[in-house]
Structure formats: C-alpha cells, structure tokens
Amino acid sequence: ATVLISGASGFIALHIVSQLLKQNYKVIGTVRSNEKRAKLLRQFQHNPNLFLEIVPDISQSNAFENVFKRHGHEIRYVLHTSSPFYYDTTEYENDLLIPALEGTKNILNSIKRYAADTVERVVVTSSCTAIITLAKTSDPSVVFTEQSWNEATWENCQVDGINAYFASKKFAEKAAWDFARENAGHIRFKLTTVNPSLVFGPQLFDEDVCEHLNTSCEIINGLIHAPANGTPSDLHSIFTDVRDVAQAHLYAFQREDTAGKRLVVSNGKFGDQDILDILNKDFPQLNGVIPLGKPGTGDQVTSPGATTDNSVTRELLGFEFKSLHQTVHDTAVQILRKENRQ
C-alpha cells in the first residue's frame, strides 16, 4: 500500500519513513527543495519504494495539488507531519500560525478533491501543545488528558514564540477534526492525531547531527555543551522518544481501534537536572565539563504543577514507552560519537 508523508525530511518524519520502508510500504514523501530530495534519496540508499515530491511551502493553497494529481489514485494513507517547529520568531502569524493551519487544511482539501475514494486513513501530527494550556501548567489541580484542548486564542497567543507555537498546533489539529466532521459525506478517510510531548532520541542518520539540532533535541545538545559553572534552569516539560512517536504514527493508520482518536504519546516529566544526572552518570568524559547541578533533586522542580494523564493512549497503543534514561542516553551517544568524544 502507498503512504504519503508530508515533511519527510523532518526529525520525526525520517524515523516514520524508515519504519514504513522496513514494513514494505511504498512511500511518497514531500520535501521543500531539490537539495533535500537528493540528500534523502541518497540517505535511504535509493530505496526503490521511496518517491519524493517537492512542496516548497505548505501554506500555499495549491501546495499539494500536483502531488495528488500525480499520485492521488494510489494513496491509501496520509501522514501530515510538516509544520513549523521553532520559537525564535516574532512573525507569529506568518511563520507559525498560518503555515500550521493552512498546511493542514490544504492537504485535507487536496485529499477531498483528488483522492476522496482512495484515502482510507489520515494521521495528523499534532502535539501535546494542542492539549496543554500554558497558563495552567503550574496549577497542581489540573490534569491534561486526551480530551483537553489548549485554550489559547488566535489573538492572545501572539505574545512570544512559545505561546504562538503551542497555539499553532491547536488551531491546526482543530481544523483537521472540523474538516473530518464537516466533510463526512464527501470523504472516506478516518482521522487520527498523534500528540507527542517533547521528542528526544537520535537523529535517524548520524550525518544530520550538527551544531544546532531540531528544537526538542537541542535541549539535550545544549546541556551537553553547557559550561561546568552553569546552573540548570527550572524549565521542565514532558518527554517522549522519537522511535515511539514513529511507531504511534504507524499504529495510527494500521489499527482499527485508533481511528477517531487523539494519541497522546508521552512518558512523563523531566527537567534539566534529570538530563544532567543521566549525562554525568553515563558519560564520564562529561564530568567536570558540564554542570553537575544538585544530583537527584530533579523532582523538586518537576513534581509541582499540572500533570498529564495519557493512560487511555498507553492502553490503546499497548507498548512500553522508552524511558528518559534511554532516550537521553541514545541522543547523547550519537552526539558524542559525531564529535569524537565517545
């Protein structure tokens, strides 16, 4: 069967493409440029089941038209992963909100127009940021679940990159559910969303480890390169591993019981101190080179505040999520190998 995946060059998407190819799917990926196309084809060793099309900007209303004109008749599953993920902008609408929202609407409209009868399942990569209301994260009485929605509005989210990114994912996901409901009589597909927390883990290819990594892995990369006299920040969040997130994307279209669901893929809280403890314990070459902080005190930072309960998703997916230790360890091993510091 043929799977279309948007944003195939992304950190998470590469792991999904790899798992799809291993399971013998024909994969049509979209990337933004010829250079990325050539690079990916080389990295996947010109796998005959991998086809790449160029979609320079998902915000353009006709972004996916050509892809569907050419391949629509054979695409059975669509995974929409592409969306801007960075905080470093003040152009909140142009850089974050509009591409996230319009990109989602554009791919869904192209399915309806060109592949309404052939596409059976659609998976939109959403995020825990579509679930979590930032203003409530320090309230210990709050529990976020598969039912929760970020309460940000289009106007009030435009205060900083983090708030705008969080909201961009909420508006995009909401548009997907609205689309599925409003077009129920005109489309065949069932929708599933995958809502990961911050995603760690190795890049699929060592060569993609560079000075600055994708937004989530950069948290670990930053601590590996933090000066010994630095102090860990009080920032904390929830994490998951990229290989689990990729697996969830496959189950999201392969299994009947995931149709219509929001899959919240997360394995608990973490803070800087927890990551530093793992780095200092597992990698003696980092001792005295990176901060030590106050080992063992991570939960003093992470335990207060709101919690996320994704027991419904855990039960549904039925596999064990990778631990913080494993995901941080594997991320660091790859970075240190690339820097000849193993």
Angstrom distances, CA of residue 222 to CA of 122, 227, 237: 35, 10, 16
**Under DSSP, is residue 183 helix (H, G, I), strand (E, B) or coil?**
coil
Binder among 198, 246, 279, 335 for ligand NDP (CB under 6 A): 198
* Residue 129: CB minimum distance to ligand NDP, A: 7
Q: Is 202 in the site for ligand NDP (CB under 6 A)?
A: no
Q: Is 39 exposed, middle or buried (0-12, 13-18, 19+ CB in 10 A)?
A: middle
125 in contact with ligand NDP (CB under 6 A)? yes
- With CB under 6 A as the rule, give the number of residues binding ligand NDP: 26
Question: For residue 326, with 0-12 CB atoms within 10 Å meaning exposed, 13-18 middle and 19 or more buried, which class applies?
Answer: middle
**Subset of residues 59 to 78 that bind ligand NDP, contact rule: CB under 6 A:** 59
Residue 31 sits at the vertex; the CA angle it makes with 243 and 215, to the nearest 5 degrees, is 50
Please identify which residue in the block is written with the tokens 């798992």: 19
Site for ligand NDP, residues 7 to 26, rule: CB under 6 A: 7, 9-13
Decide if residue 57 touches ligand NDP (CB under 6 A).
yes
For residue 78, list its beta bridge partners.
4, 122
Closest separation in Å from C-beta 255 to ligand NDP:
20
- Tokens representing 64? 């996916």
Distance between CA atoms of 102 and 104, rounded to whole angstroms?
5
CA distances from 248 to 73, 202, 320 (A): 26, 17, 11
Q: Which is nearer to ligand NDP, 106 or 273 (CB)?
A: 106
Confirm or reject binding of residue 232 to ligand NDP (CB under 6 A): no
Maximum separation of any 2 CA atoms in the chain, in Å: 63
Q: Which residues touch 226 (CB under 8 Å, ≥6 apart)? A: 290, 291
Q: Smallest distance from the beta carbon of 213 to ligand NDP, in angstroms?
A: 9
196 touching ligand NDP, by CB under 6 A: yes
Residue 59 or 323 with smaller CB distance to ligand NDP: 59
- Binder to ligand NDP among 29, 72, 99, 232 (CB under 6 A)? 99
Minimum CB–partner distance for residue 117 and ligand NDP (Å): 27
Least Å from the CB of residue 190 to ligand NDP:
20
Is 85 a binder of ligand NDP (CB under 6 A)? yes
The footprint of ligand NDP (CB under 6 A) covers 7, 9-13, 32, 36, 55, 57-59, 81-85, 99, 125, 127, 169, 196, 198-199, 214, 216
